[in-house]
Chains A and B, each alone.
Chain A
Amino acid sequence: MAPDTTELVKQVLKGNRRAAARLMTLTESLSPEAHAVIKQLYPHTGKAHIIGITGPPGSGKSTLVDKLIEKYRSQNLSVGVVAVDPSSPFTGGALLGDRIRMNRFASDHDVFIRSMGSRGHLGGLAWATMDVVHILDAMGKDIIMVETVGAGQAEVDIVQLAETVVLLSVPGLGDDIQTIKAGIMEIGNIFAINKADLDGADRRFVELQSALDLGQEGDGWEPPILKVIATVGEGIEDLVKAIQSHHEYLVESGEIAKNRERRCYAQLETIIEHSFIRKLLMDPDERALFDKLVTEVDQRKTDPYTAAERLILHLIKTPKK
């Protein structure tokens, strides 16, 4: 191992912001050096309460996060924020604008905010979001909030990362059928209706309530529905209490163990999948075989399932370098 990774680990554990920020950049570029550092940081993680904030574009996620930071800071808790915005599928560029709403905390050294472009990853997060959360956790942040890209129906990766998911909704989005579809509606531990001063907030409340009532017998946690007006901070106190109650519920019921296991399972699965594909595309020999199989599939000389089996077999049999 390169000696400078040990230094980087030490600095991050001490809470050095510059070192942490650099490491985050390395993980974003999926560098092996960064992964070496994460390996050493991992034993120091698992202490923070990780809260996911998700909801449609423009529903007020960043504004809500800003108000939550304020509350947590008033309780003297340190806060980390990861805010993900979409990358362009054409240029790879991105305009990361979540910070605008919360940059009043930029000079508070107990708050660390990091923006991320999704960089082609679907599901509402960037591939390296998990690593950035680990880094914030290792830095000793008490609360870590992960703000997803504007989520529609299927951006549900946040469940693999957060202990508590706050699903933000706003008045005027579709009818009650939307609220009983599978996907994002299932992942909220807490439902918050933002912009509750707008027309339709009560209707939204009733729709959500009846959708939740239709549900099968739950695991003992009944997701509360809260009305908030994030711009003026209304309802934030109750939201913070609900987040706290959910955490207490997880701990007292023992659900937290299952929750952790589920998250580790998903993380491991993602890493394996990703490493596999990376190895395939980076290694010249395997890449050649991959390209050859693509052509064969295209020419109908083989089918995609057989091609995949051949590749996997080849990867397993290739000795480690």
Chain B
Amino acid sequence: MVNIKNLSYSNYTGLDGHDRGAKVVARALRDAGFEVIYTGLRQTPEQIAETALQEDVDVVGLSILSGAHMRLFPEIMQLLKEREMADVLVIAGGIIPEDDFEPLKKLGIKAIFGPGTPTGEIVDFIRKHTK
């Protein structure tokens, strides 16, 4: 039985526009049997939440390098909640200082994967935390 899960991999990289990390993760998840909806760069919180809704995803993956996560992530979480999608697993990656981990987890972001995380770790985490 193939393990099929929807996942919206959203990128929010601000101005610089690097998406290599997100693409590596998206590819690894594809190879692990997930259906990955890749939204591309520079998505607004509204676009991310609305994509998650329309695609009825189980997981939202956020990649951020711009440093604006403390401003954008709360907004995304709020918009997901407004759409009755609070039960969706939200994970993040990119450049996020460790000091911010605690407040982000309080927001409901279940895991933060920094640079160098083996992709297998992300796959295992998602498998463990989704139905």
Contacts and interface: CB of A to CB of B under 8 A. Distances in A.
Nearest to A26: B56
Contacts of A104: 47
A96 B37 contact: yes
* Interface of B: prevailing SS: mixed
The 4 closest A-B pairs by CB, nearest first: A92-B2, A100-B40, A21-B56, A93-B30
Interface residues of A, number: 27
A94 B35 CA distance: 5
Contact of B53 (A21, A87, A88, A92): A21
Contact of A106 (B27, B30, B50): B50
A93 B51 contact: no
Interface in A83-142: 87-88, 91-97, 99-100, 103-104, 106-107, 112-115, 117, 119
A231 interface: no
B40 to A, nearest CB: 4
A91 B32 contact: yes
B51 A99 contact: yes
Contacts of A18: 53, 83-85
B37 A99 contact: yes
Contacts of B39: 99-100, 103, 106
Interface residues of B, number: 31
13 contacts: A18-B53, A18-B84, A24-B56, A91-B32, A91-B33, A93-B36, A95-B26, A103-B43, A104-B47, A106-B54, A107-B46, A107-B50, A112-B54
B44 A95 contact: no
A245 interface: no
Interface string A4-18: 000000000000011
A106 B38 contact: no
A22 interface: yes
A21 B51 contact: no
B55 interface: yes
